[in-house]
Structure 1
Amino acid sequence: MISIKNLSKIYKSKNRDDVTAVDNIDLSINQGEIFGVIGYSGAGKSTFIRLLNRLEEPTDGKIIMNEKDMTNLSNKELRNERQKIGMIFQHFNLLWSRTVFDNIAFPLEIAGIPKEQRKSKVQELIELVGLAGREDYYPSQLSGGQKQRVGIARALANDPKVLLCDEATSALDPQTTDDILDLLVSINQKLGLTIIVITHEMHVIKKICQQVAVMDNGKVIEQGEVLEVFMHPKEKTTRRFVQQVMGEQVEQSPIHYFVKNYESGKVLRLHFVGETANQAIISKLVKRFNVEINILQGNITQTKDGAYGTLYVHMDGPEEVVNEAIKYIQQTSVELEVEENA
């Protein structure tokens, strides 16, 4: 487990006000899970991830990783612990004068690994990340996705227990992003690595993460299981991220636009999770109750732990019948919110 307690980073300035980039963060990350940290630019997430391996020095707090307090290590101890922490970057950070093979071998050279052992390890990693046949290519001869695969292989060279990903897919096109995310999931499953993903894209979170923390102004404002955060976002920032992948625009949503067109009935928001996404709830309601149902807006998306969908409907009919239909929905596994009485 990674335990982060009261972690803060304050940048001091003589001529301006101090800047608090990370503000008193507490997080627990389970071994072997993929944990996402999401926030907009300036939220403090990149500073946060650099604090974990002390590329940035914390102002306050503790980071317990691999059963060591990262904030209380000597320089020699820190060098040893960093070998157990891999890191991949947004812009790859490859050595452009070295081949794919030599880029991946570089951390092994620094660690003093014998040549034959290095060769065997690098070849194993090249196979793992899908770069077989490109060992002698230079970075300039590779696509963006291939460059990131080199970065991932290099980060795995010293058999780390933790992999830090700082906006690792934000420079890639959507299809390549999905390919790299699939690779990270595969690595997580094969090697049992704990992976911490920093991103501003909710698509990344929903596709591969089990847990997520939402950052804003240096603070963690919301955290939990990805599916739970999707279903019940508490903070405005979180709701905006969820809307990214659900295709909802606040100013165009049924709550703010459709409901004013109805003189009776109720606008409902239905949440479908996992197997409930396959339930024919609308047809059952129409058959069972004397109500009219108008579908206003809906969407479904896939998270790592199952499908999540929302459906806005306007239900009209005699008030007592509408209320009975609502009670019927509440007895199913479909979650329901009455958005507004029309």
Structure 2
Amino acid sequence: MITLKKLSKTFQTRTTSISAVDQANLEISQGEIFGIIGYSGAGKSTLIRMLNMLERPSSGEVILAGNNMASLRGKRLREARQEISMIFQHFNLLWSRTVAENIEFPLEIAKVPKADRQKRVKELVELVGLKGREDAYPSQLSGGQKQRVGIARALANKPKVLLCDEATSALDPKTTDSILELLTDINQKLGLTIVLITHEMHVIRKICHRVAVMEDGKIVEQGPVLDVFRTPEKKITKEFVKQVIEPEETMETIRELLGKDDGGTIVKLMFMGENAEQPVINELIRSYHVSVNILQGKVSKTRDGSYGTLFVQLEGNDDSVKEAIQYLKGQQVEAEVLEDDK
């Protein structure tokens, strides 16, 4: 569906040049929800804007739905863009138009007959959960409702690809989850390919099939979300994974214990797939001469399966602790003994 080949974008200033995207290579499949994550300045917004040629690349190729986007101009580019829609962090709604009129706007531009426009608006209002709010103005809507209008408007012309530029960054956590659930539902019902950029690993974890991590304009790591959570390779990827699995308050407690002579052995456990739901700790306590103090634990879902993290304090003699850790590893549990980094 989408192929990026050595895609680069350089911005020129009076005194220097800035490489916003550097030799990016990606393959995104039809019907996939693909996440691109990075901190501010990583180049992710520039990258996503090159997919529909809002930014033209300095070099490289963007192949989207069979079109070499960088080679298109004028009418051919406008036609290709009909298959790509975009939603934004700050909604970009027309404040003088109602919900229905905002959704209808791209259909007016496309010169769709009025009866067909009204039918399509009705379908979309129901799809995004705004039935009964058709005549409301944006100023009368919550942030989540405004984004639902933005999503409905983006779907008006039945695109093949939906680009999401930090679409949940302006929303509170509960509203963010509701919008992510809506995007998942749209993806499943319409078979729509979704590309989203974010700086929040929670968003990636919640709905994406695969993820690419960007740093300083480069794609430094990519793969299935569950694999990236299990074995992050780059330092920046590990930082993003920690957003979800290592709450700061837990890490403060762990650092205090690591600084004590009698703090026991602190072990971080990661359970993947079916192992995340097995009573491994129960068997550990029953079979080995160690005390287990659970410091923090969590089981979460990705699109491809469950994963769990558990921080435990093991107390006992050295041999018993070693045997317990070996047992855990034998149960296909990743066990990392944490040490004081001072």
Distance 2:303 2:185 in 1: 13
Partners of 1:250 and 1:256 within 8 A in 2: no
Cα drift, residue 257 of structure 1: 3.9
- Aligned in 2, Cα 1:254/1:28: closer, same or farther, shift over 3 Å? farther
Q: Distance in 2 between the 1:251 and 1:266 partners?
A: 15
1:146-295 alignment, distance < 5 Å: 146-249=145-248, 252=251, 256-262=255-261, 266-295=265-294
Alignment RMSD: 2.1
Q: Which moved more, 1:201-210 or 1:281-290?
A: 281-290
User: Does residue 310 of structure 1 match 2:295?
Assistant: no
Residue 110 (str. 1) matches residue 102 (str. 2) = no
CA distance in 2, matches of 1:136, 1:317: 67
Aligned residues: 341
Q: Are the equivalent residues in 2 in contact too, given 1:251–1:257 (CA < 8 A)? A: no
In structure 2, what is the Cα distance between the partners aligned to 1:131 and 1:251?
40
TM-superposed deviation, 1:280: 2.1
* Residue aligning to 1:6: 6
Structure 2 gap segments, 5+ residues each: none
Cα–Cα, structure 1 residues 160 and 321, in superposed 2: closer, same or farther, change >3 Å? same
Q: What residue number does 2:300 align with?
A: 301
Instruction: State the Cα distance separating 1:9 from its structure 2 match.
Output: 0.6
Contact 2:272 2:306 in 1 (8 A): yes
**1:253, CA displacement in angstroms?**
5.4
Structure 2 SS opposite 1:104: helix
In the TM superposition, what is the alpha-carbon distance from 1:153 to its structure 2 partner?
0.7
Query: Does residue 327 of structure 2 align to residue 328 of structure 1?
Result: yes
More displaced 10-residue stretch of structure 1: 152-161 or 118-127: 118-127
- 1:164 touches 1:196 (CA, 8 Å); kept in 2? yes
Q: 1:40 corresponds to which residue? A: 39
**Equivalent pair of 2:257/2:263 in contact (CA under 8 Å):** no
Q: Deviation at 1:79?
A: 0.3
Give CA-to-partner distance per residue, 1:177-210, whole Å, 9 cap, x none.
1111111011000000000011111111111111
Aligned-residue offset at 1:222: 1.4
Q: Which residue of 1 aligns with 2:84?
A: 85
Question: Partner of 2:94 in structure 1?
Answer: 95
> Which of 323-332 and 102-111 deviates more?
323-332
Q: Extract unaligned runs of 5+ from structure 1.
A: none
| TM value normalised by structure 1 | 0.93
**Contact 1:246/1:300 (8 A) holds in 2:** no
Percent identity, aligned pairs only, is: 58
Residues 252 and 339 of structure 1: CA distance in aligned 2, closer, same or farther (over 3 Å): closer
Shift of 1:83: 0.4
Where 2:259 maps in the other structure, the secondary structure is: helix
Deviation at 1:313, TM superposition (A): 2.4
Segment drifting more, 198-207 vs 291-300: 291-300
Matched, 1:337 2:336: yes
Q: Is the 8 A contact 1:255 1:340 kept in 2?
A: no
Q: For 1:205 and 1:341, how far apart are their aligned partners in 2?
A: 30
Please give the secondary structure, in 2, of the residue aligned with 1:258.
helix
- Letter aligned with residue 224 of structure 2: E
CA contact (8 A) 2:8 2:60 kept: yes
* Displacement after TM superposition at 1:130 (Å): 1.1
Q: Does 1:31 align with 2:19?
A: no
Using the alignment, how far apart are the partners of 2:22 and 2:231 within structure 1?
A: 24
Q: TM-score, normalised by structure 2?
A: 0.93
Structure 1 segment 47-62 matched on structure 2, within 5 A? 47-62=46-61
Decide whether the 8 Å contact of 2:210 with 2:223 is kept in 1.
Answer: yes
Distance 1:134 1:163 in 2: 24
Q: Deviations over 1:44-95 (max 9, x none)?
A: 1111110100000110111111011111112211100100001101111111
